Amino acid sequence: MKRPFVTKEQLEALTQQFPTPLHLYDENGIRQTARKLKAAFAWNPGFREYFAVKATPNPAILKILREEGCGTDCSSLTELMLADKCGFSGQEIMFSSNDTPAEDFRLAHKLGAIINLDDFTHIDFLKETIGTIPETISCRFNPGGVFTLGASAEGFQVMDTPGDSKYGFTREQLFEGFKKLKAMGAKRFGIHAFLASNTLSNEYYPTLAGILFRLAVELEQETGCDICFINLSGGVGIPYKPDQPANDIAAIGEGVRRQFEEILVPAGMGDVALCTELGRFLLGPNGCLVTKVLHFKHTYKEYVGVDACAANLMRPAMYGAYHHITVAGKEDAPCDHKYDVTGGLCENNDKFAVDRMLPEVELGDLLVIHDTGAHGFSMGYNYNGKLRSAEVLLQSDGTARLIRRAETPEDYFATLTFEE
């Protein structure tokens, strides 16, 4: 059974101050999750989580994570600017981009970020852009083929196809790229890979680690490059459905440790630092979308219309993704009514739930849409002229703080030009 991290009474109080729809985040949950992750990899002295800014690009969230020892993973100019404004500097920033504009590389270099190259041709492009190759550099590896493992958080077998992905170096390009980068002045190297998304398996990270650790040994032996860090990226998922078991981050960390000691330590590489980019794992369950019931529609189906829409949470419309829904105050009521829960966009896929069994819903009820703390607000947009919602932080002391105001029509029109 999924229960919200906030009570009906708390929701009623904060929605008096901050109208729905709104994205709500749980500071206690964020800190506790970050500490569990850090403890799971405490055996690796150089470990650092580089939080994927794209998941939840809000200064208040980033500052909490910085206090918990995290860095940031940025993929664009503005994400770099945001990380800089939030106090991250130097190698606290990982810049992992693709199809990268020159100005993005220039800012990453100016900030002293670790640049994680996505493509072999970017080696020369980076040199031409900033005039040098940084002494610390990383490259993204794409092994090609098909990667199969267990179950995903959506309930399906994990079978991602790296060979169809636009990201990363081939194996041959990686070896050639390391040799080239070394000849151009690079001294400290990292490798990065991402093979599967949102997995619910304690074996994914250890399996990926084994692949990258063996690759690192071969790279160092063949190229003579000093591999200082290995970035396991993201992919550790969360249970969106109430009957799915959560990943055990302690067991995952232990699985990675075993691979580390079996592969890297005997090769004399026991000082390699590990990195992660677990945006969804850290923030997903620690955020929710709060929305109010506005209408009912009784036609061929029973529809509940709410004041949020796909512009506030794209994942169900875009991916058919499941997000659990709680009717605030009815957590223990029987789920004996079947509804489609819909927003107001002029698109038929604007549905947060289809044929979902819920307690009887009434006008004015507050619905909590779970697990939206990552890739929720950040994927918002203004289609149909919809305005992006506020973001609110439920602080450790129980008070609520506005951390991003809701957009206004003035914001929507601010970038437009009209002929006089």
Q: Label residue 194 by pLDDT band (50, 70, 90).
A: confident
Q: Is residue 419 part of a domain?
A: no
- What are the C-alpha distances in Å from 259 to residues 8, 56, 204, 206, 263? 46, 31, 12, 7, 6
Point out which residues pair with 293 in neighbouring strands: 306
Burial class, 4, CB count within 10 angstroms (exposed 0-12 / middle 13-18 / buried 19+): buried
Q: Are residues 293 and 155 in the same domain?
A: no
**What whole-number distance in Å separates Cα of residue 299 and Cα of residue 420?**
46
The predicted model gives 395-410 an average pLDDT of 97
**What whole-number distance in Å separates Cα of residue 169 and Cα of residue 166?**
10
Q: Is residue 3 part of a domain?
A: no
Q: Are residues 201 and 330 in the same domain?
A: no
Picking from 230, 264, 284, the residue at the C-terminal end of a domain is 284
Question: Per-residue pLDDT for 5 more than 70?
Answer: yes
* Residues constituting the chain: 420
Give the domain extent around 215: 27-284
**What whole-number distance in Å separates Cα of residue 282 and Cα of residue 221?**
35
- In the numeric block, the tokens 């810049």 are attached to 95
Q: What is the pLDDT of residue 196?
A: 81
Q: Is residue 18 part of a domain?
A: no
Q: Label residue 20 by pLDDT band (50, 70, 90).
A: very high
Q: Are residues 265 and 329 in the same domain?
A: no
The predicted model gives 147-171 an average pLDDT of 62
**What whole-number distance in Å separates Cα of residue 395 and Cα of residue 398?**
5
Point out which residues pair with 306 in neighbouring strands: 293
Closest CA to 357 of 315, 393, 304, 306: 304
Point out which residues pair with 337 in neighbouring strands: 358
Output DSSP code: residue 130. Answer: H
- In the numeric block, the tokens 């002391």 are attached to 397
Q: Is residue 8 part of a domain?
A: no
- Look over the chain and give the mean of its residue pLDDT values, rounded to a whole number: 94
Please list the active-site residues: 346
Q: Are residues 42 and 99 in the same domain?
A: yes
Picking from 284, 313, 328, the residue at the C-terminal end of a domain is 284
Give the pairing of strands 93-96 and 337-342.
Answer: unpaired
Give the pairing of strands 337-342 and 302-306.
Answer: parallel
SS3 state at 357: strand
Q: Are residues 261 and 376 in the same domain?
A: no
Picking from 284, 310, 344, the residue at the C-terminal end of a domain is 284
Q: Are residues 206 and 316 in the same domain?
A: no
Q: Are residues 289 and 226 in the same domain?
A: no
Q: Are residues 220 and 349 in the same domain?
A: no
**What whole-number distance in Å separates Cα of residue 300 and Cα of residue 105?**
54
Q: Are residues 39 and 130 in the same domain?
A: yes
* CATH number reported for the structural domain that contains residue 166 in this entry: 3.20.20.10
pLDDT tens digits, residue range 72-112?
A: 999 999 999 999 999 999 999 999 999 999 999 999 999 99
- What are the C-alpha distances in Å from 38 to residues 22, 202, 258, 384? 30, 16, 17, 42
- In the numeric block, the tokens 């890739």 are attached to 375
Point out which residues pair with 326 in neighbouring strands: 368
Q: Is residue 99 part of a domain?
A: yes
SS3 state at 358: strand
**What whole-number distance in Å separates Cα of residue 25 and Cα of residue 394?**
6
Q: Is residue 155 part of a domain?
A: yes
Q: Label residue 1 by pLDDT band (50, 70, 90).
A: confident
**What whole-number distance in Å separates Cα of residue 214 and Cα of residue 210?**
6
Give the pairing of strands 287-298 and 302-306.
Answer: antiparallel
Q: Are residues 238 and 294 in the same domain?
A: no
pTM of the model as a whole: 0.94
Question: Which DSSP helix (H) or strand (E) runs through 250?
Answer: helix 249-259
CA atoms within 13 A on the CB side of 78: 4
pLDDT tens digits, residue range 288-319?
A: 999 999 999 999 999 999 999 999 999 999 98
